[in-house]
Amino acid sequence: MQEFDPMNRGFASYRSPRTIALVGKYHSLEIAESLRRLAEYLYERGVSVFIERETAEHIGKKVDLSRWVTCGFNDIGAHADLAIVLGGDGTMLNAARRLARYCVPLVGVNQGRLGFMTDIARNDMLTCMDDLLDGRFSPENRMLLAAEVTRDGKEVASNMALNDVVVDKGAIGRMIEFELFIDGEFIYNLRSDGLIVSTPTGSTAYSMSAGGPILNPTLTGIALVPLCPHALSNRPIIVNDSTDIELRIVNADDPRVHFDGQVTLDLERGDCVRLRRSEHTICFLHPPGYSYFAMLRQKLQWSERPKGP
């Protein structure tokens, strides 16, 4: 298992980053000015700034980014000490899948709505940069799922997911039926709208909306959450992160598998979706004072502690 080791390039360099990549929400011109201001601030602090290529192609139409290097995720992975992601959780998910294999830590600036993975508010962006450049952010590892789809015994697709992998019935209203196996043991035959296989990071996303448990991201379990099961006894369960999970499509009209809700693949009857913990992890860098439970209280609007003695 490839962990975020204090001796590797990513950990050592994040405390004194000399090269920082900026990744923005591709189709949002609203972040253009924020990204330009951040790039200029980092440049004035002596940091080499990379702008992710697709980000530059979209928001470069609104602001001038020509003074900074533009490159793809492979070059960011090879040369950047860390990446700052401006956008919402969707932008962070895409960047995480693209950069996980390179051990590049990620910092999130929230330009979206909820932002469970983007800690820094847009208005606090520049004031937090001093803490980042001076090494006062704290690292936290997050596990990913590795998935492969096999058809007639041959692999037809593979991908990673930071939040979840979802197998569902597709656009047609009829339920999907599949068999669930864990470490080769038959668990149950499920007729439902689908199944969410979620990491702890993804437990506050689709899984939570479907009635699944919230898992602290320091845990290493995997949540299996049925979507509208025909049998009400099919409840969410949590399995160890070392297990191998297999879904075999038994009957469906338009089955599909989704990776983080961003990449979709059409399935066929008889296909198998195999899931396990990825050998890669992603590292989030949190600003001083970050608290996971404080974030939940704010984002989920949990009640505040009663005032008074």
Q: Which amino acid is at 77?
A: G
Structure tokens at 173: 């209203």
How much of the chain is in helix, strand and coil states, percent to nearest 5?
25, 35, 40
**80 φ/ψ sector (left φ>0, alpha ψ -120 to 50, else beta):** beta
Distance of CA 21 to the CA centre of its chain: 18
Q: Do 16 and 135 contact (CB within 8 A), yes or no? A: yes
Is residue 260 part of the annotated active site? The answer reads no
The single residue of 81, 89, 193, 260 carrying the catalytic annotation is 89
Residues with catalytic annotation? 89
